[in-house]
Amino acid sequence: MKKYIFILLLIAAFVSCDYLDLVPDNIPTIDNAFTMRSEAEKYLFTCYSYLPKDADINSNPALSGGDEIWELSDESIATQLSQLAKGKQNIVNPIGSYWAHCYAGIRDCNIFLENIPRVPDIDEFEKNQWIAEVKFLKAFYHFILVRNYGPIPIVKNNLSISATVDEVKVSRDPVDECFRYIIELIDEAKDALPQTINDAKYLGKITKPVAYAMKAKILTYAASPLFNGNTDQVTLKNNDGTQLFNQTFSEEKWLKAAEACKEAIDICEAANITLYKQPSFYQGYELTDTIRTQLSLRFAITDRWNEEIIWANTQSWMAAGGIQTSGAPDWEPSSQTRVWMDNRYDAPLKIVELFYTENGVPINEDKEWNYNGRHQTHSATFKEKLYIREGYTTANMNFNREPRFYAWLGFDGGIWYGQGKYNDKKPAELYYIQNKLGQPQNVGSRWAGPITGYSLKKLIHLENLRSPASYTVISYPWPLLRISDLYLLYAECLNEVGGPTDEALYYINKVRERAGISPVEEAWPSFSKIPDKYTTKEGFREIIQQERLIELAFEANRFWDLKRWKKSITEMNKPIKGWNVRGTNAETFYHSVLLYTQSFNLKDYFWPISETELTKNPNLVQNIGW
């Protein structure tokens, strides 16, 4: 089959992993790479090849390195990044380091930009588009480094072969200068990019909506407490005394971020990027509103190239072998064919509790929801048949929750729409999870979960099919940026500038409406114990932040959002808990058990620079606490 995504044809030409090796050492290769258009395009693909492997739980620290996804504790199969979640970061060989990788990517972007003008057989329009793509990638790789390390050495150009030792020993640039340079690059690139990609083999290339949306997101980072007047970082200075973090809060940064968000929304909507909504028919069946909402929420993540996705990372696919396999419950556990559906990545109870009630407010605020009795149990009735198996006894925690809870979490007794069963008019035929020890989805193996009792349904394509002999996985490129993310960023920025305005409410409510819950200004007065919470900047900030943590759950956003809000030190010092998955009945299963006590300190907001780099370059100063 000739249809392919262009990134998959990359030449795996990774250069030296040494950040300091900025002087090109492959001159003959570079000369050959730009002799004609076809060769230059291969080098363009090489620049894309450094995009992070976001879908890989072994590579993305924001998946298993935080508090949102908890992994089976068996050290023989646990990912290295799970050690990050357990506070075991180090300076000798930092876990999840992007330092060498991103600087290598920046180096190749610079090589491309220096040499593309001499390609003889490329027209001006295409050349300018390629230049814009690579400028964006160069900016994005700088941003990844800033997000991880804070202030970094900016690399505008590669050093020449004749560079002196002193020229190679660069210092870190102040964080405001880093953000300024990143935005300058994106501004240079954004209007030379195409509005959309029409050729299927090039899906995943950078477009105008991608550039505008990432500019907005990056400016929101720059405006957030971690980078905007962060006095915790007052002692981080270069050897010459240069202050690396600004010490004065600037509201102007929030205003610029808000303007960029609105501009990006307009660009995206002009490109027909909008919230995904499932048609009323699916697989030949007419859907109830309940299931239609659930499918809208699930397909917004897993349906390839759907209208909600601004940027999908074709360098990293959710495919067989990752979370879609090892994070999935096995529907044929007695089969003789081992397919590694091990259910060994789960959501901790504190993440489960984050989702709203059916009334669209937090479970500890809802006047009609029994928060203190959430660990007690009762049996599902006919009215819950599309959420919970009728007659099944499960925790009160699982009743009367918002649609995203049921669409994105698998739990004991919960309906799992899929596995070839799509007729919601016959709920008795739909699959449901049985998580207690000895039941089908808990075989008691040291190699398999569940861990907490809550599976990551959101990331598992509902058309995956387990047969007695195999497991067929529908793969999809990792959704790096969705329009719902942008809407919520805009609401956040507007609130920081002017409080809970009508426009801020409008954009958060767009996300809530698709999620099947009431607008903020209806839900809080009607159901919350704090009815006027949304009317103050502080209260509305809490609402927006919780909305982001729910809407973007398990998409590698919480890890970074908590950091930029400076809330990691609170949230990641809370205990990780789950149900007693060794329980054999409802009475013994539904007890909260401690899985791990996390430890997060000030130093953990940023990665350490490795000792090796510091030894080679004494002008680099280490991050605070390391």
The DSSP annotation for 182-228 comes to HHHHHHHHGGGS-S---SGGGTTS--HHHHHHHHHHHHHHHHSTTTS
In sequence order, the β-bridge partners of residue 594 are 577
Contact 551, 557 (CB under 8 A): no
pLDDT digits (tens, 9 = 90+) for 342-364: 899 999 999 999 999 999 999 99
Contact 574, 64 (CB under 8 A): no
Written as six digits, the tokens of 314 are 């074709």
Sequence-distant (6+) residues with CB within 8 A of 366 are 357, 359, 527, 528, 529
Query: What is the three-class DSSP state of 500?
Result: coil
Where is 611: in which H helix or E strand?
A: helix 611-616
Where is 254: in which H helix or E strand?
A: helix 251-270
Let me know the angle formed at the C-alpha of 515 by 513 and 521, rounded to the nearest 5 degrees: 45
Sign for the CA dihedral angle at 483, 488, 491, 492 comes to negative
1 pLDDT tier (thresholds 50, 70, 90): very low
Structure confidence at residue 19 (pLDDT) = 26
Q: Has residue 27 got a pLDDT over 90?
A: no
* % of residues, the chain, pLDDT over 90: 83
Structure confidence at residue 336 (pLDDT) = 63
Structure confidence at residue 449 (pLDDT) = 85
> What are φ and ψ of residue 55, in 5° steps?
-80, -10
- Burial category of 505 from C-beta neighbours within 10 Å (exposed 0-12, middle 13-18, buried 19 and up): buried
DSSP string, 341-408: ----EE--HHHHTTS-BTTSS-TTTBTTS-STTTTSEEE--GGGTTTB-TT-EEEGGGSSB-HHHHHH
Return the DSSP state at 437: T
In this prediction, residues 44-49 reach a mean pLDDT of: 97
Closest CA to 255 of 495, 434, 431: 495
pLDDT digits (tens, 9 = 90+) for 73-101: 765 556 789 999 999 999 999 999 999 99
Structure confidence at residue 339 (pLDDT) = 86
Contact 105, 158 (CB under 8 A): no
Q: How many CA atoms lie within 13 A of 551 on its CB side?
A: 28
Structure confidence at residue 210 (pLDDT) = 99
Question: Tokens 């008691």 — which residue?
Answer: 444
DSSP E strand boundaries for 483-585: 575-579
> What are φ and ψ of residue 575, in 5° steps?
-70, 145
Q: How many CA atoms lie within 13 A of 139 on its CB side?
A: 28
Let me know the angle formed at the C-alpha of 520 by 514 and 521, rounded to the nearest 5 degrees: 130
- Burial category of 593 from C-beta neighbours within 10 Å (exposed 0-12, middle 13-18, buried 19 and up): middle
Q: How far apart are CA 460 and CA 473, in angstroms?
A: 9
Q: Has residue 538 got a pLDDT over 90?
A: yes
Closest CA to 298 of 593, 14, 516: 516
Return the DSSP state at 528: B
593 pLDDT tier (thresholds 50, 70, 90): very high
In sequence order, the β-bridge partners of residue 318 are 476
- Per the model's pLDDT, the better-predicted residue between 22 and 104 turns out to be 104
pLDDT digits (tens, 9 = 90+) for 301-324: 999 999 999 999 999 999 998 999
pLDDT digits (tens, 9 = 90+) for 474-509: 999 999 999 999 999 999 999 999 999 999 999 999
Q: Computed over its alpha carbons, how large is the radius of gyration of the chain?
A: 25
In sequence order, the β-bridge partners of residue 577 are 594
Q: How far is CA 295 from CA 56, 282, 287, 385, 406, in A?
A: 24, 9, 10, 16, 11
Written as six digits, the tokens of 409 are 């979490």
Contact 30, 107 (CB under 8 A): no
pLDDT digits (tens, 9 = 90+) for 377-436: 999 999 999 999 999 999 999 999 999 999 999 999 999 998 888 888 888 889 999 999
Distance of CA 404 to the CA centre of its chain: 17
Q: How far apart are CA 312 and CA 584, in angstroms?
A: 42
- Per the model's pLDDT, the better-predicted residue between 30 and 262 turns out to be 262
Contact 93, 609 (CB under 8 A): no
Structure confidence at residue 18 (pLDDT) = 32
- Per the model's pLDDT, the better-predicted residue between 88 and 165 turns out to be 88
Q: How far apart are CA 243 and CA 231, in angstroms?
A: 11
Q: How far apart are CA 74 and CA 451, in angstroms?
A: 11
pLDDT digits (tens, 9 = 90+) for 555-569: 999 999 999 999 999
Query: What is the three-class DSSP state of 17?
Result: coil
Structure confidence at residue 77 (pLDDT) = 59
Structure confidence at residue 2 (pLDDT) = 32
Contact 519, 509 (CB under 8 A): yes
Q: How far apart are CA 359 and CA 537, in angstroms?
A: 22
- Per the model's pLDDT, the better-predicted residue between 33 and 538 turns out to be 538
36 pLDDT tier (thresholds 50, 70, 90): very high
> What are φ and ψ of residue 201, in 5° steps?
-75, -10
Structure confidence at residue 75 (pLDDT) = 55
Query: What is the three-class DSSP state of 105?
Result: helix
Q: Has residue 219 got a pLDDT over 60?
A: yes
The residue type of 207 is: T
The pTM for the full model equals 0.94
510 pLDDT tier (thresholds 50, 70, 90): very high
* % of residues, the chain, pLDDT over 70: 94
Omega cis (within 30) before 479: no
Sequence-distant (6+) residues with CB within 8 A of 193 are 129, 132, 133, 136, 206, 207, 208, 210, 211
Structure confidence at residue 457 (pLDDT) = 98
Residue 438: Cβ within 10 Å count: 12
Q: What is the mean pLDDT of the chain?
A: 93
In this prediction, residues 52-58 reach a mean pLDDT of: 95
Residue 416: Cβ within 10 Å count: 21
Written as six digits, the tokens of 569 are 């030190």
> What are φ and ψ of residue 14, in 5° steps?
-70, 130
Query: What is the three-class DSSP state of 136?
Result: helix
Q: Has residue 4 got a pLDDT over 50?
A: no
Domain positions in the chain are 6-278+609-616
Q: Which fold has domain 6-278+609-616?
A: 1.25.40
Structure confidence at residue 484 (pLDDT) = 99
Contact 455, 351 (CB under 8 A): no
